[in-house]
C-alpha cells in the first residue's frame, strides 16, 4: 500500500508539472499577442485606393512584364467605395519627345490594379536630347532621371542605381534629378528613387518609381568574360572540358576564336565546333571540340597535353572576320601520376561567390478569376564579386495553388522558351520552377541578370498573403548564404478593389518560432519542474492541487467515464457532505 501511495504521488507530481507547463505556455502566448503592436510608420489612408498604368514599347518587350520595363507611368487615386482604373494613351505624348521609332499606336497600355505605396509618384528617364527613354538606349547615351514625390517634407532623397545609393544632383521641393552615365560593361541598368518619411522609414518605390533600361551592346565591347572547366583524366593529366565565352547576342554563324597562351604555345584558330548559346549569350566549346584537330586551322588543344603549372589563355572573338573583343582566364595543369596530391587550401573570401537577389511582383493583388489571376514576378540577380562568377540554377517556389505560365520566362529582356531550360516540379498543390541551363550562367563582376515570368492563381490558392521565395545555386561556396534567397508576398483576395484587412495582413512571427526563445523557455520549465519535484514547496503545491475544487471536479468527471460506480458513490458522498 505504501509503495502504491508513492507511485500515486509521483504520478500526481508529473501531471502537475505538465499542467504548469501548459498554463505557462498559454499565459505567455496570451501576453505576446496582447502586447504585439503594429510596426510604427505613417498610417495608410484607408479611405482611398490607388491604381495606375504604364506604356510598353514593343521594340523593347512584347508583353506587360512589369512597370519597371515600361515608361509614361500614370497614377490614379479614388475613394475606396469606387472602382479604380487608369488608361495610358501613347497619343498623349508628342512624337518628338520619344527616343524610339515605334509608332505611338503600337504602344501597349498595361494596367496596375493595386498600388499600396504612392508616396513616390513617378520617375521619368530622358536621354541627352531630352527625349523620353522607352526602355533601351545606345552605348554612350546618358540618362537624366527625374523623380517626383507626394510631399516635399521627406528626407534623405536618394537614387538607387544597380543596388547602390546615389545622392541626387538637385532637390527642388518634391522633385529630385540625377544625370547618369551608364557603365560600358553593363547590358542593363536599374534606376529607382526613394526617401525617408517622417517616421524615418524607407518609401517603397518598387512599382511607381523603378525602371530598368537596356543598353545595346556595341561590337567592340561584346566579349565580357571567359570560363574554362578542367578535369583530371585516368592517366593523371589535366584536360580542359569546356570553354565558355560571354558575348551577348550574335546573329552571324561566321564565328572564329583565336586562342593564345602564356607561357607561349602556338596560336590556335578555331573555325568550327563553336556552339552559340543564345539563351545565355555565350560561345561554347566542349572537350570533344577543343581536342579535335579538324575544328582548327592547325593543331588543337592537344598541344597542351604535357604542360604542367599555370596557364593563361587569351581568346579573341571574330564575327564575319571582324574582332568584337577579347578576354582571358587562368587555369592550372597538374599530373597526379607523378606528383603527390596537393594539400587542399582553404577557400578565401575573395574566391567565394557573392551574389545578391531581389524579388518583386505586379500586381500586388490577384483574384481567382480569369483575367484577374495573373501575377508577374521579377527576379534581379547581381554579382558583387570582384571577378566573374557562375550560377548553376535559379529555383523559385510558387505559393500554394499558383501555376507557372508555360514559356512566360523573359531573361535579360529576351523572351526565352522553356525547352531545355525550365523545369516545373509539382509538389502537392505547389509548383517549384527551376531555371537550369546546360552550362552555368556566368555573370561578369558587377553584372546583373533579370528573370521575369508569370504565374496564375488557381482555385486552390489561399486567400490572404501568399509567400513566394527564390533561391540561387552558385557554382562556388557562397560568402553569405543569406544573400542567395529572398521572398515577396502577393495578396489573393475575393475582390482586389476592396480587399479586407485579413487578406492584406502579413502573418506575424509567433513567440515560439524563435530558437533562442524556445531554449530559454525550456530551461525555465526544467527549473520550475525541478523545484516542484524536489523542494518542500513542491509537495505543498501538489497537496493544495489535490485538495482544490478544480482537481476534485476533474476526478469526478474522469470517474464518470472510466469508473461509473465510483462516480455515483462520490456524488452521493458529496451531497451528504453538503447537507451536514
Is 275 inside a domain boundary?
A: yes
- The CATH number of the domain where 132 resides is what? 2.60.40.10
Pairing of strands 136-137, 210-215: parallel
Poorest-pLDDT segment among 28-37, 239-248, 372-381: 28-37
Q: What ranges make up the beta strands (E) of 421-529? A: 422-427, 430-435, 441-443, 448-457, 464-474, 485-492
Residue keyed to cell 447537507: 579
Residue keyed to cell 558575348: 247
Is 230 inside a domain boundary?
A: yes
Assess whether pLDDT exceeds 50 at residue 422: yes
**497 and 477, same structural domain?**
yes
Three cell numbers, residue 137: 538606349
**225 and 184, same structural domain?**
no
d(CA 540, CA 439): 72
What confidence score (pLDDT) does residue 379 get? 94
pLDDT classification of 256: cutoffs 50, 70, 90 = very high
DSSP classification of residue 417: -
Assess whether pLDDT exceeds 80 at residue 16: no
pLDDT classification of 33: cutoffs 50, 70, 90 = very low
Assess whether pLDDT exceeds 90 at residue 257: yes
**113 and 249, same structural domain?**
no
**364 and 311, same structural domain?**
no
d(CA 241, CA 438): 14
- How confident is the model over 396-406, as a mean pLDDT? 91
Is 17 inside a domain boundary?
A: no
Assess whether pLDDT exceeds 90 at residue 103: no
Mean pLDDT taken over the chain? 81
Check residues 554 and 512 and name the one with the higher pLDDT: 554
Q: What are the pLDDT digits (tens) for 157-171?
A: 999 998 888 999 999
What confidence score (pLDDT) does residue 32 get? 52
- How confident is the model over 482-487, as a mean pLDDT? 89
Three cell numbers, residue 378: 521579377
Is 111 inside a domain boundary?
A: yes
**299 and 324, same structural domain?**
yes
Percent of the chain with pLDDT over 70: 78
**287 and 193, same structural domain?**
no
What confidence score (pLDDT) does residue 237 get? 85
Q: What are the pLDDT digits (tens) for 539-562?
A: 666 666 666 777 777 776 766 666
Three cell numbers, residue 345: 587550401
CA torsion 122-128-130-133 (nearest 10°) is -50
Assess whether pLDDT exceeds 50 at residue 44: no
d(CA 199, CA 154): 10
Is 166 inside a domain boundary?
A: yes
Three cell numbers, residue 386: 570582384
Percent of the chain with pLDDT over 90: 26
Q: What are the pLDDT digits (tens) for 229-252?
A: 998 888 888 899 999 998 876 767
d(CA 569, CA 547): 18
Q: 10 Å Cβ neighbour count for 341?
A: 7
Assess whether pLDDT exceeds 70 at residue 340: no
Domain end residue (candidates: 482, 507, 532)? 507
Assess whether pLDDT exceeds 60 at residue 3: no
Q: What are the pLDDT digits (tens) for 282-307?
A: 889 999 999 999 999 999 999 998 89
Helix (H) or strand (E) segment spanning residue 415: strand 414-415
Q: What are the pLDDT digits (tens) for 307-336?
A: 999 999 999 998 878 888 888 999 998 877
pLDDT classification of 36: cutoffs 50, 70, 90 = very low
- Whether 383 and 402 have beta carbons less than 8 Å apart is answered as no
Residue keyed to cell 597562351: 261
**204 and 111, same structural domain?**
yes
What confidence score (pLDDT) does residue 41 get? 42
Poorest-pLDDT segment among 17-21, 97-101, 258-262: 17-21
Assess whether pLDDT exceeds 50 at residue 143: yes
**260 and 243, same structural domain?**
yes
Check residues 177 and 346 and name the one with the higher pLDDT: 177
Check residues 518 and 283 and name the one with the higher pLDDT: 283
Question: How many distinct structural domains can be found in the chain?
Answer: 4
What confidence score (pLDDT) does residue 218 get? 47
Identify how many contiguous H helices and E strands the chain contains and give both numbers.
7, 33
352-357-359 Cα angle (round to 5): 170
Poorest-pLDDT segment among 207-221, 326-340, 429-443: 207-221
- The CATH number of the domain where 408 resides is what? 2.60.40.740
DSSP classification of residue 105: G
Maximum Cα interatomic distance, the chain, rounded to a whole number of Å: 118
Domain end residue (candidates: 191, 216, 241)? 216
Is 141 inside a domain boundary?
A: yes
Is 513 inside a domain boundary?
A: no
Give strand pairing partners of 50: 77
**472 and 422, same structural domain?**
yes
Q: 10 Å Cβ neighbour count for 113?
A: 22
Check residues 360 and 370 and name the one with the higher pLDDT: 360
Domain end residue (candidates: 190, 216, 242)? 216
Domain of 556 in residue numbering reads as 548-580
Cis peptide before 363 (omega within 30 of 0): yes
Assess whether pLDDT exceeds 50 at residue 125: yes
Is 196 inside a domain boundary?
A: yes
**290 and 162, same structural domain?**
no
**370 and 312, same structural domain?**
no
**179 and 275, same structural domain?**
no
Poorest-pLDDT segment among 32-36, 236-240, 421-425: 32-36
* Torsion region of 130: left, alpha or beta (phi above 0 gives left; psi -120 to 50 gives alpha): left
Amino acid at each position: 500500500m505504501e509503495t502504491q501511495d508513492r507511485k500515486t504521488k509521483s504520478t500526481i507530481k508529473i501531471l502537475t508539472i505538465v499542467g504548469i507547463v501548459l498554463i505557462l505556455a498559454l499565459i505567455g502566448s496570451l501576453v505576446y499577442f496582447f502586447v504585439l503592436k503594429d510596426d510604427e510608420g505613417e498610417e495608410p489612408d484607408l479611405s482611398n485606393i490607388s491604381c495606375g498604368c504604364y506604356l510598353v514599347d514593343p521594340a523593347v518587350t512584347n508583353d506587360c512584364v512589369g512597370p519597371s520595363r515600361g515608361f509614361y507611368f500614370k497614377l490614379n487615386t479614388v475613394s475606396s467605395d469606387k472602382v479604380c482604373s487608369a488608361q495610358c494613351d501613347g497619343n498623349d505624348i508628342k512624337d518628338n519627345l520619344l527616343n524610339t521609332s515605334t509608332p505611338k499606336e503600337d504602344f501597349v497600355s498595361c494596367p496596375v490594379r493595386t498600388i499600396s505605396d504612392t508616396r513616390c509618384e513617378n520617375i521619368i528617364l530622358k536621354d541627352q536630347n531630352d527625349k523620353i527613354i522607352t526602355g533601351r538606349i545606345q552605348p554612350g547615351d546618358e540618362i537624366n532621371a527625374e523623380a517626383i514625390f507626394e510631399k516635399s517634407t521627406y528626407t534623405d532623397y536618394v537614387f538607387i542605381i544597380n543596388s547602390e545609393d546615389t545622392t541626387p544632383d538637385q532637390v527642388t521641393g518634391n522633385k529630385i534629378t540625377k544625370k547618369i552615365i551608364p557603365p560600358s560593361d553593363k547590358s542593363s541598368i536599374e534606376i529607382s528613387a526613394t526617401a525617408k518619411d517622417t517616421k524615418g522609414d524607407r518609401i517603397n518605390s518598387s512599382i511607381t518609381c523603378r525602371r530598368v533600361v537596356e543598353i545595346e551592346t556595341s561590337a567592340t565591347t561584346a566579349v565580357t568574360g571567359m570560363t574554362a572547366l578542367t578535369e583530371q583524366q585516368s592517366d593523371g593529366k589535366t584536360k580542359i572540358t569546356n570553354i565558355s565565352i560571354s558575348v551577348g547576342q550574335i546573329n552571324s554563324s561566321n564565328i572564329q576564336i583565336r586562342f593564345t597562351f602564356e607561357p607561349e604555345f602556338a596560336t590556335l584558330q578555331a573555325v568550327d565546333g563553336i556552339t552559340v548559346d543564345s539563351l545565355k549569350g555565350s560561345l561554347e566549346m566542349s572537350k570533344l571540340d577543343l581536342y579535335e584537330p579538324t575544328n582548327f586551322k592547325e593543331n588543337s588543344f592537344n598541344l597542351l597535353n604535357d604542360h604542367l603549372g599555370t596557364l593563361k589563355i587569351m581568346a579573341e572573338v571574330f564575327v564575319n572576320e571582324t574582332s568584337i573583343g577579347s578576354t582571358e582566364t587562368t587555369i592550372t595543369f597538374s599530373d597526379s601520376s607523378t606528383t603527390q596530391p596537393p594539400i587542399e587550401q582553404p577557400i578565401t573570401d575573395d574566391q567565394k561567390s557573392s551574389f545578391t537577389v531581389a524579388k518583386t511582383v505586379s500586381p500586388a493583388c490577384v483574384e481567382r478569376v480569369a483575367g484577374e489571376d495573373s501575377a508577374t514576378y521579377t527576379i534581379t540577380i547581381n554579382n558583387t564579386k570582384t571577378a566573374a562568377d557562375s550560377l548553376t540554377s535559379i529555383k523559385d517556389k510558387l505559393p500554394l495553388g499558383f501555376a507557372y505560365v508555360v514559356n512566360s520566362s523573359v531573361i535579360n529582356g529576351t523572351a526565352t522558351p522553356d525547352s531545355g531550360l525550365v523545369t516545373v516540379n509539382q509538389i502537392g498543390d505547389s509548383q517549384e520552377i527551376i531555371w537550369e541551363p546546360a552550362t552555368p550562367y556566368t555573370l561578369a563582376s558587377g553584372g546583373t541578370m533579370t528573370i521575369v515570368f508569370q504565374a496564375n492563381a488557381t482555385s486552390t490558392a489561399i486567400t490572404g498573403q501568399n509567400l513566394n521565395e527564390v533561391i540561387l545555386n552558385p557554382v562556388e561556396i557562397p560568402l553569405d548564404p543569406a544573400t542567395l534567397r529572398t521572398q515577396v508576398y502577393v495578396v489573393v483576395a475575393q475582390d482586389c478593389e476592396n480587399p479586407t484587412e485579413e487578406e492584406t495582413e502579413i502573418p506575424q512571427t509567433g513567440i515560439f518560432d524563435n530558437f533562442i526563445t524556445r531554449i530559454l523557455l525550456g530551461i525555465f520549465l526544467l527549473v520550475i519542474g525541478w523545484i516542484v519535484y524536489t523542494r518542500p514547496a513542491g509537495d505543498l503545491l501538489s497537496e493544495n492541487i489535490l485538495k482544490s475544487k478544480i482537481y476534485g471536479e476533474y476526478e469526478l468527471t474522469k470517474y464518470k467515464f472510466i469508473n461509473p460506480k465510483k462516480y455515483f458513490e462520490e456524488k452521493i458522498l458529496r451531497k451528504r457532505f453538503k447537507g451536514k
